[in-house]
Amino acid sequence: MTDEKKIDQAAEIIKNSQNVVVFTGAGHSTESGIDDFRSSGGLWDRYDPSIYASYYSFLQDPSKFWQMHNELENILVNAKPNQGHFAIVELEIIGKLKAIITQNIDMLHQRAGSGTYKNIPIFELHGSYGSLICVRCRKEYNYEDIDTKSVDFPVCDCSGYIKPKVVLFGEALPLKALEGAMEASSHCDCFILIGSSLTVAPANLMPGIAKDNGAKIIFINRGNTEMDYLADVFLKDYASIILTRIIEKLKK
Using CB atoms within 10 A of its CB, is residue 5 exposed (0-12), middle (13-18) or buried (19+)? exposed
What is the Cα Rg of the chain in Å? 19
Query: If you write DSSP's letter for every residue of 162-178 in order, what string do you get?
Result: EEEEEPPBTSPPPHHHH
Known catalytic residue: 69?
A: no
Q: How far apart are CA 21 and CA 29, in angstroms?
A: 18
Q: How far apart are CA 168 and CA 118, in angstroms?
A: 31
| 3-class SS shares of the chain: helix, strand, coil, % to 5 | 40, 20, 40
DSSP 195: S
Q: How far apart are CA 154 and CA 170, in angstroms?
A: 21
Using CB atoms within 10 A of its CB, is residue 251 exposed (0-12), middle (13-18) or buried (19+)? exposed
32: helix, strand or coil = helix
Residues recorded for the chain: 252
Residue partners of 151: CB distance under 8 A and separation at least 6: none
Residue of 69, 109, 126, 187 marked active site = 126
Cα dihedral sign for 181, 186, 188, 190?
positive
Where in the sequence numbering do the catalytic residues fall?
Answer: 126
